[in-house]
């Protein structure tokens, strides 16, 4: 067997020989470049990294990564990755999915992967639209969205992916943006370090079917006033001059945004991603309004809970340690278990 | 009182009672005692779908039939010689199957006005002469059990519950069964509650002694051991055998077995059984749904495990898209379908063979897979190994079509020698296979098997991407080339068609039969029993049984064409017959029943006799 590949890798080493076929200007390019740029940092040999995706524009991702990869079927990537992770805890497994893939057809697998805390890094490219099927509304499209399939506006309320993940007992929940490479990579880093499921929502622009969906968060004129950049153990203030802050008003259930100038410093919430009660992170996910004002990005939640594959493999190891017989001897005993009789 | 002893060559006993009466356990114990004695056995449980149907009602009746003989038998028997009826419901539900002259042992304590009314008896059938054609043995089973336990420290309820052991003791006496294994079993089962061991043992002995002393039972029977191949045996159900076959496949391949499953009757017992065998490296996952179960199994196969998923028809329907993905990815996958009566929820605890079309054709696109079916409970062990062998060697999904009848039925199983089991070791790809010595071609095939290399993640230098999009031959790159798609579709078909499977064998002892009866799966027993009787009566008939349904044995066409008439009995509306007609242009005659019950040998005998006489 050839030697494990050298670990002095660069972004180029993670580029496959396949021609990338997203629409020019698609946010997926930026994400791909950011991921390829980040991979060498992992310090994991290429052969031990696997990308598994479902179906959608975003799900073409594995073809472009020079690692092991599987482009599977619509919505099922978390399930397939769960089987791989459970039997191969030695691998670094990344799931790439879209808002339709993860939250519509594959919603069941996503929530169960999160509740099990399978050791997967799940990257949800949220463009709030069905890209590959040419522009129908998605489960993250805003209510009233006019698309090919909803000519007078969609009638159903969207999911908030991060709220959903928290409700599904996710141990790691983060959000980032395609165009902010540095931030994206910092979130990837935190996700990679997390043991168990890491759920990362990446706001991604589909310049063909939903162009500008996240412009407020990207335009220099608005972004600083709209984005809440969460930093672990830092007071949550934001805005061009830090003029806004987040507080937990007494008697209320959630968090609210206030003017920093009129808020006593000790009332400003200090961000702590390790808070056990998911209600805190949930409250963060509820801050943004329909216009995307007050959108938190960064790691909202990062808590420890044993990963599914670890527990499963420990059960196997414990069972194996109970005997020093060979597998064949054990099998012979197993077959002859219970009442037997012999005919001569 | 000395009792007359009469020899019998075979007996069919049915234990029937309320779900809470412990009839399955009673039947199991009687079977085990019978096995110890060396009779050939075949059993069939029949339980309600409801977990706790109201006590004393017809839907709540649970029964267990055991057929044992001094020769080799093929079925659990068409009709019982003896019915043990623990209450009026059990009598009413089972009387239709009882031939005149059969023995009926009834628990008279339960024949109260109220219980009779529950099942619509105005007058007790014990009093109105309606059982005149039977040999009725009224026994106050409950009160005699309670009486026998009088000196023991058990509650009235526990004492009453031991009545099934009284019945077992009586039947064990009647048929001269060795009972040591039952006493040992009771000690194990109630190890934590010694007072229950004492109670159940006392009830058993009381039943035995009652047989010995009462005048109502004047005859005792013996059934001599059957001549069976030398070796060690155990009694086993199809689901158990299938589970052990999968464990054995793991040992013989050296690969971890991964089972992804979602609970469904009648397949759940495989999940339960396999979850106990972690020390063999078997990992079981109860998935969130059927789709996840097969997806996880496929993911495990991708990583170098033997991926397995077990389910019943509704589950296979949900798994269909993922099975097609496995066809495209060309990875090993074993899909077990323990068939039950459909469509939809149908009759979940009843048997049927109506998923054959789905197994052969139920996928989108041209998505051929291998399909095999076990013919009896013990055969499930070997069928599981065969499914694994094909999946691993040819890197393909294999559908294994069991059914409720073989899954829950049991028969003696000659324990195999581990070394005699097939060697299932596989060769993972370890080095680039391209001509330049550095590229890896994930779809470059082994010319002998047409299998592509199995390059598992973690192997340096072989990083590659696979997916559901059509792949270019050899490189596996995405391809929309028309000629390439045509080639890949045909190659995937050829991959399955050229899997070598053993020739089908024909049983035609005198070689002069003009009629062939062709079956598949669990109908083997009743068809075989019917053919035997016909031959004993001087009629010539040939029997052939398909284990491999895709691909079919190479000699099948020649075999079929050698007979004037081909009859295909199936528990569906003619699914195999359709395929045979289409593929071999043979005017096969279907004999079809979908009653949720296995064929009886007698009805097949009548049908086949007609065909033979008119051939
Ligand atoms: C079973 C199945 N149903 C439907 C489709 C069609 N389909 C492909 S991608 C897609 C939606 C993709 O949307 P999203 O997940 O948001 O990905 P994006 O293209 O936006 O990245 C749909 C409906 C499919 N491939 N498979
Ligand atoms: S349709 Fe949208 S999401 Fe898909 S590639 Fe084009 S821009 Fe990207
Ligand atoms: Mg989308």
Structural domains of chain B ordered from first start = 4-223 (3.40.920.10), 234-420 (3.40.50.970), 427-500 (no CATH), 506-614 (3.40.50.920)
Residue A342 lies in a domain: no
- Closest residue to atom 2 of ligand 2, CA basis: A206
ipTM: 0.97
Give the CA distances from residue B257 to residues B247, B266, B318, B356, in Å, rounded to whole numbers and listed in that order.
7, 21, 22, 26
CA angle B482, B484, B486 (to 5 degrees): 70
- Which pLDDT belongs to residue B515? 98
With a pLDDT cut of 90, the percent of chain A lying above it is: 95
Say if residue A82 is in the same domain as residue A163: yes
Q: Is residue B71 scored above 60 in pLDDT?
A: yes
Contact B243, B402 (CB under 8 A): no
- The pLDDT tens digits of the residues spanning B77-128 come to 999 999 999 999 999 999 999 999 999 999 999 999 999 999 999 999 999 9
Is the pLDDT confidence value at B1 over 80?
no
pLDDT digits (tens, 9 = 90+) for A92-132: 999 999 999 999 999 999 999 999 999 999 999 999 999 99
Q: Is A322 within 8 Å of B279 when comparing Cβ atoms?
A: yes
Residue A49 binned pLDDT confidence (cut-offs 50, 70, 90) = very high
Is the Cβ–Cβ distance between A159 and A139 less than 8 Å? yes
pLDDT at A338: 83
Does residue A96 share a domain with residue A239?
no
The verdict on a CB contact (< 8 Å) between A83 and B297 is yes
SS3 B345: coil
From A60, A101, A104, give the residue whose CB has the most ligand 1 atoms within 8 Å, as the site to mutate.
Answer: A101
CATH code of the domain containing A170: 3.40.50.970
Q: What is the DSSP letter of B599?
A: P
List, for residues B347-392, the tens digit of each pLDDT value: 999 999 999 999 999 999 999 999 999 999 999 999 999 999 999 9
Same domain, A141 and A251: no
Chain A residues in contact with B431 by the CB 8 A cut-off are: 1-2
- Residue A146 maps to a domain: yes
- Are A200 and A175 in contact by the 8 Å Cβ rule? The answer is yes
Q: Is residue A277 part of a domain?
A: yes
The whole-number pLDDT of residue A8 equals 85
Two tokens at B411?
A: 């028969």
Within this chain, do residues A208 and A264 fall inside the same structural domain, yes or no? no
Q: In what order do the strands lie in the sheet with B103-107?
A: A340-343, B231-237, B410-414, B40-46, B61-69, B10-18, B82-85, B103-107, B135-139
- The reply to whether A221 falls in a domain is yes
A147 phi, psi to nearest 5 deg? -140, -175
Beta-strand ranges (E) seen in B477-594 are 506-507, 515-520, 542-546, 548-550, 565-570, 589-592
φ, ψ of residue B597 in degrees (nearest 5): -125, 150
**SS3 per residue for B275-304:** CCCHHHCCEEEECCCHHHHHHHHHHHHHCC
Tell me how many degrees the CA angle B181-B187-B108 measures, rounded to the nearest 5: 80
**Structural domain includes residue A266:** yes
Peptide bond into B343 cis (omega under 30): yes
Give the pLDDT score at A5: 63
The predicted-structure confidence for A198-252, as pLDDT tens digits, reads as follows: 999 999 999 999 999 999 999 999 999 999 999 999 999 999 999 999 999 999 8
* H or E segment and range at residue B119: none
The number of distinct structural domains making up chain A is 2
Q: Name the pTM for this structure.
A: 0.96
C-alpha torsion angle, residues A14, A48, A184, A212 (rounded to 10): 70
CA distance A80 to A54: 10
Residues A212 and A247 in one domain: no
Q: Which atom of ligand 1 is nearest to the CA of A132?
A: 19
The beta-strand segments (E) located in chain A are 49-53, 68-71, 92-98, 121-126, 172-177, 198-203, 227-229, 237-238, 244-247, 256-259, 295-302, 340-343
Predicted local distance difference test score (pLDDT) of residue B49: 74
> What does the mean pLDDT of chain B come to?
96
The neighbouring-strand residues paired with A342 are: B232
What's the pLDDT score for residue A2? 55
Tell me if B463 sits within 8 A of B474, measured CB to CB.
no
Residue B235 tokens, joined:
């009694």
The secondary structure of B20-52 as a DSSP string is: GG-HHHHHHHHHHHHHHHT-EEEEEEE--SSTT
Q: A270, A295, A327: which is the final residue of a domain? A: A270
Backbone torsion region of residue A304, taken as left when φ is above 0, otherwise alpha when ψ lies between -120 and 50, otherwise beta:
beta
Q: How confident is the model at residue B615 (pLDDT cuts 50, 70, 90)?
A: confident
**Residues A156 and A188 reside in one and the same domain:** yes
Domain carrying residue A30: 11-230+273-308
CA A90 to the chain's CA centroid:
20
Q: What integer is the mean pLDDT of A262-266?
A: 97
Q: Is residue A4 over pLDDT 70? A: no
Does residue B50 carry a pLDDT above 90?
Answer: no
For chain B, how far is it from start to end, CA to CA, in angstroms? 57
Report the pLDDT averaged over residues B140-149. Answer: 97
Report chain A residues whose CB lies below 8 A from the CB of B303: 83-84, 87-88, 91
For residues A39 and A81, state if they share a domain: yes
Burial string for B61-74 (b: 16+ CB within 10 Å, else e) reads bbbbbbbbbbeebb
Does residue A91 lie in a domain region?
yes
Q: Is residue A330 part of a domain?
A: no
Q: Which residue among A45, A323, A331 places its CB closest to the CB of B418? A: A331
Instruction: Using the atom order of ligand 1, give the atom closest to the CA of residue A100.
Output: 15
CA A300 to centroid of ligand 1, rounded, Å: 28
Instruction: Give B298 Cα–ligand 3 centroid separation in angstroms.
Output: 25
B305/A316 Cα distance (integer angstroms): 14
Q: What is the end-to-end Cα distance of chain A in Å, rounded? A: 50
State whether A72 and B232 contact (CB < 8 Å): no
Same domain, A36 and A173: yes
pLDDT in tens, B286-325: 999 999 999 999 999 999 999 999 999 999 999 999 999 9
A204 class by beta-carbon count within 10 Å (0-12 exposed, 13-18 middle, 19+ buried):
buried
The span from the CA of A109 to the CA of B299, in Å, is 14
Cβ contact, residue pair B231, A316, below 8 Å: no
Q: In what order do the strands lie in the sheet with A237-238?
A: A237-238, A244-247, A256-259
What's the Cα-to-Cα distance from B103 to each of B79, B119, B131, B222, B572, rounded to whole Å? 12, 22, 10, 16, 34
Q: Is the dihedral of CA B567, B573, B579, B582 positive or negative?
A: positive
**Cβ contact A91–B457 (<8 Å):** yes
A160: left (phi over 0), alpha (psi -120 to 50) or beta: beta
Q: By CA distance, what is A1's nearest residue in B? A: B430
**Closest atom of ligand 2 to CA, residue A210:** 2
Provide the Cα torsion A249, A254, A258, A262; round to 10°: 10
Q: Is the pLDDT of residue B203 over 90?
A: yes
Tokens of A184: 């994206």
pLDDT cut 70: percent of chain A above it: 98
Q: Is the CB of residue A208 below 6 angstroms from any atom belonging to ligand 2? A: yes
Q: Are residues A251 and A295 in the same domain?
A: no
Tokens of A131: 């890209």
Tokens encoding B520:
């598949």
Token pair recorded at residue B159? 């004492």
- The Cα A220–Cα A207 span in angstroms is 19
Contact B232 A67 (CB under 8 A): no
pLDDT value of residue A3? 62
Identify which of A274, A95, A49, A102 has the alpha carbon closest to the alpha carbon of residue A173: A274
Preceding amide of B266 cis, omega within 30: yes
Do A55 and A190 lie in one domain? The reply is yes
What is the number of other CB atoms lying within 10 angstroms of the CB of residue B187? 13
* pLDDT at B221 exceeding the cut of 70: yes
Judge if A106 and A241 occupy the same domain: no
> Distance between CA atoms of B43 and A277, rounded to whole angstroms?
55
- For residues B403-424, average pLDDT: 97
How many CA atoms does the CB half-sphere of A339 hold within 13 Å? 24
Reported confidence tier of residue B47, pLDDT bands at 50, 70, 90: confident
Residue A58 CA: which ligand 2 atom is closest?
Answer: 3
Q: Identify whether residues A249 and A149 lie together within a single domain.
A: no
Burial readout A326-337 (b: 16 or more C-beta within 10 A, e: otherwise): ebeebbbebbee
pLDDT tens per residue across span B12-45: 999 999 988 999 999 999 999 999 899 999 999 9
Domain-located, residue A204: yes
Long-range contacts of B212-215 (CB under 8 A, 24+ apart): B212/B1, B212/B3, B212/B173, B213/B1, B215/B1
């Amino acid at each position: 067997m050839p030697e494990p590949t050298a670990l002095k890798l660069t972004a180029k080493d993670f580029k496959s020989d396949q021609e990338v076929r997203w629409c020019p200007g698609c946010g997926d390019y930026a994400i791909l470049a950011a991921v390829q740029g980040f991979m060498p940092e992992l310090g994991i040999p290429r052969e031990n990294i696997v990308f598994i995706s479902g179906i959608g524009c975003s799900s073409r991702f594995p073809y472009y990564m020079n690692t092991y990869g599987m482009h599977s079927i619509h919505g099922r990537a978390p399930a397939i990755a769960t089987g791989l992770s459970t039997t191969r805890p030695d691998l670094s497994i990344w799931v790439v999915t879209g808002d339709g893939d993860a939250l519509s057809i594959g919603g069941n697998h996503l929530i169960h992967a999160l509740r099990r805390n399978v050791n997967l890094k799940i990257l949800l490219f949220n463009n709030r639209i069905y890209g590959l099927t040419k522009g129908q509304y998605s489960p993250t499209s805003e209510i009233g969205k006019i698309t090919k399939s909803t000519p007078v506006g969609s009638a159903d309320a969207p999911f908030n992916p991060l709220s959903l993940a928290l409700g599904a007992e996710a141990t790691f929940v983060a959000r980032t943006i395609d165009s902010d490479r540095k931030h994206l990579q910092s979130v990837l880093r935190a996700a990679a370090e997390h043991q168990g499921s890491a759920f990362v929502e990446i706001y991604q622009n589909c310049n063909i079917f939903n162009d500008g969906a996240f412009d407020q968060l990207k335009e220099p004129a608005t972004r600083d006033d709209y984005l809440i950049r969460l930093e672990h153990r830092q007071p949550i203030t934001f805005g061009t001059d830090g003029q806004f802050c987040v507080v937990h008003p007494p008697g209320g259930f959630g968090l609210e945004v206030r003017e920093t100038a009129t808020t006593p410093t000790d009332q400003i919430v200090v961000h702590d991603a390790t808070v056990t009660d998911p209600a805190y992170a949930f409250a963060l996910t509820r801050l943004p309004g329909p216009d995307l004002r007050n959108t938190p990005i960064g790691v909202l939640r990062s808590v420890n809970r044993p990963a599914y594959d670890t527990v499963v493999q420990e059960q196997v190891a414990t069972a194996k340690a109970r005997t020093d017989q060979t597998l064949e001897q054990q099998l012979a005993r197993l077959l002859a278990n219970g009442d037997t009789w012999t005919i001569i | 009182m000395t009792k007359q002893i009469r020899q019998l060559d075979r007996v069919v006993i049915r234990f029937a009672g309320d779900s809470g009466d412990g009839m399955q356990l009673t039947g199991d114990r009687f079977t085990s005692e019978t096995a110890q004695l060396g009779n050939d056995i075949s059993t069939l449980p029949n339980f309600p779908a409801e977990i706790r149907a109201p006590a004393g009602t017809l839907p709540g009746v649970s029964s267990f039939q055991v057929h044992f003989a001094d020769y080799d038998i093929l079925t659990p028997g068409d009709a019982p010689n003896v019915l043990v009826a623990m209450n009026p419901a059990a009598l009413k539900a089972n009387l239709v199957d009882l031939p005149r002259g059969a023995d009926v042992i009834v628990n008279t304590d339960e024949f109260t006005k109220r219980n009779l009314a529950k099942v619509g008896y105005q007058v007790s059938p014990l009093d109105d002469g309606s059982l005149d054609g039977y040999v009725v043995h009224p026994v106050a089973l409950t009160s005699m059990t309670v009486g026998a336990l009088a000196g023991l420290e058990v509650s009235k309820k526990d004492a009453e519950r031991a009545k099934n052991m009284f019945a077992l003791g009586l039947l064990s006496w009647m048929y001269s069964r060795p009972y040591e294994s039952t006493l040992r079993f009771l000690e194990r089962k109630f190890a934590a509650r010694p007072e229950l061991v004492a109670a159940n043992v006392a009830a058993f002995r009381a039943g035995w002694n009652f047989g010995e002393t009462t005048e109502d039972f004047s005859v005792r029977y013996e059934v001599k051991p059957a001549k069976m191949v030398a070796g060690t045996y155990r009694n086993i159900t199809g689901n158990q055998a299938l589970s052990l076959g999968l464990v054995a496949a793991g040992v013989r391949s050296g690969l971890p077995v991964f089972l992804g499953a979602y609970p469904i009757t009648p397949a759940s017992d495989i999940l339960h059984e396999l979850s106990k065998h972690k020390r063999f490296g078997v990992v079981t996952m109860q998935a969130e749904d059927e789709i996840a179960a097969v997806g996880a199994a496929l993911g495990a196969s991708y990583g170098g495990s033997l991926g397995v998923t077990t389910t019943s028809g509704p589950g296979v329907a949900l798994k269909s898209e993922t099975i097609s993905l496995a066809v495209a990815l060309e990875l090993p996958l074993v899909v077990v379908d323990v068939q039950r009566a459909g469509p939809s929820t149908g009759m979940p605890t009843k048997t049927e063979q109506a998923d054959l079309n789905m197994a052969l054709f139920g996928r989108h696109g041209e998505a051929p897979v291998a399909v095999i079916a076990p013919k009896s409970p013990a055969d499930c062990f070997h069928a599981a190994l065969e499914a694994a062998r094909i999946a691993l060697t040819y890197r393909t999904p294999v559908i294994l079509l069991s059914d409720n009848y073989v899954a829950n039925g049991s028969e003696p199983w000659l324990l195999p020698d581990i070394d005699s089991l097939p060697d299932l070791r596989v060769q993972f790809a370890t080095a680039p296979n391209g001509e330049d010595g550095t590229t890896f071609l994930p779809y470059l095939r082994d010319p002998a098997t047409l299998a592509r290399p199995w390059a598992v993640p973690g192997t340096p230098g072989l990083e590659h991407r696979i997916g559901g999009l059509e792949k270019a031959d050899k490189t596996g790159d995405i391809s929309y080339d028309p000629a390439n798609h045509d080639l890949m579709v045909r190659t995937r078909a050829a991959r399955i068609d050229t899997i070598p499977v053993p020739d089908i064998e024909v049983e035609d002892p005198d070689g002069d039969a003009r009629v062939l009866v062709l079956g598949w799966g669990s109908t083997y027993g009743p068809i075989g029993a019917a053919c035997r009787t016909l031959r004993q009566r001087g009629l010539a008939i040939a029997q052939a049984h398909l284990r491999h349904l895709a691909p079919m044995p190479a000699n099948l066409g020649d075999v079929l064409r050698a007979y004037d008439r081909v009859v295909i009995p199936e528990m569906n509306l003619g699914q195999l017959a359709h395929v045979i007609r289409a593929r071999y242009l043979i005017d096969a005659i279907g004999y079809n029943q979908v009653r949720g019950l296995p064929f009886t040998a007698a009805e097949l005998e009548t049908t086949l006799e007609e065909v033979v006489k008119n051939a």
